[in-house]
Amino acid sequence: MSVSIYRVSVPVFVKHLKGLASCLKKTQALYSEKKYDEVTLLNYRLYPDMFNFTRQVQYATTHAVACTALLAGMEVPKSDDNEKSLAELIARVEGALAFLNAIKPEQIEGSEDKSITIKKPDGDQVVKGIDLLLNNRLPNFLFHTTNAYGIMRHNGVEIGKAHFMGNR
């Protein structure tokens, strides 16, 4: 039995981005209620050489959207990466969800063996669609969503695994 590339990409991205949006909204409510300074959270890092919270959320959405666009043969939507509040990060995640929800399975199916060119500063790289998804974008997406979750949790937001998994 073969596995559908759509099924192991878009629904996975959507599920975890819904979880991220839910966690962000819970974080926004806590910070509003307690009158905490959002900027401290937005700039928070788990370790000095890691990306801050804002960048973790940005990269999570970028990996999901870029991967899906590339698999679908579309141009990758550009983003300004200039979010300065939890509300703007929530809007970014919701925008990524809207993009992903507009993708039809037939736009992606069959892209497993499609050669996809990734533009990089040090030169273009050509990969197969399945390798792009499984060996690059999906692991990076999960890495950044996990770090965003960890930062929220570390900063006192009462969220758990069910939130991360998109089940709450």
Angstrom CA distances, 109 to 4, 8, 72, 77, 98, stand at 7, 11, 8, 20, 20
Residue 16 counted as domain residue: yes
Q: What are phi and psi of 114, to 5 degrees?
A: -70, 135
Residue 5 counted as domain residue: no
- Number of domains forming the structure of the chain: 1
The DSSP bridge partners found for residue 117 are: 126
pLDDT for residue 164: 87
The 10 Å CB-count burial string (b at 16+, else e) for 120-132 is eeeeeeebebbeb
pLDDT for residue 1: 58
Any idea what the CATH number is for the domain that residue 52 is in?
A: 1.20.120.450
The helix or strand, by DSSP H or E, that contains position 155, with its residue range, turns out to be none
The mean pLDDT value for 97-125 works out to 95
- Say yes or no to pLDDT of 109 above 80: yes
pLDDT in tens, 35-60: 999 999 999 999 999 999 999 999 99
Task: Please check whether residue 41 is in contact with residue 154, taking contact to mean a CB–CB distance below 8 angstroms.
Answer: no
Q: Which of the four pLDDT bands, split at 50, 70 and 90, describes residue 165?
A: confident
The 10 Å CB-count burial string (b at 16+, else e) for 43-58 is ebeeeeeebbbbbbbb
Residue 34 counted as domain residue: yes
Residue 4 counted as domain residue: no
- Say yes or no to pLDDT of 168 above 80: no
Residue 155 counted as domain residue: yes
pLDDT in tens, 71-101: 999 999 999 999 999 999 999 999 999 999 9
Cα–Cα distance for residue pair 49/141, rounded to 1 Å: 19
Residue 3 counted as domain residue: no
Higher pLDDT: 120 or 90? It is: 90
The mean pLDDT value for 140-154 works out to 98
pLDDT for residue 30: 97
Q: Which of the four pLDDT bands, split at 50, 70 and 90, describes residue 167?
A: confident
Token readout for 165 is 């998994």
The mean pLDDT value for 21-44 works out to 97
Residue 151 counted as domain residue: yes
Q: Identify the domain containing residue 143 by its residue range.
A: 10-164
Residue 70 counted as domain residue: yes
Task: Please check whether residue 140 is in contact with residue 118, taking contact to mean a CB–CB distance below 8 angstroms.
Answer: no
| Mean pLDDT, the chain, integer | 95
Percent with pLDDT over 90 in the chain: 91
Strand ranges inside the chain, DSSP E: 115-118, 125-128
pLDDT for residue 3: 82
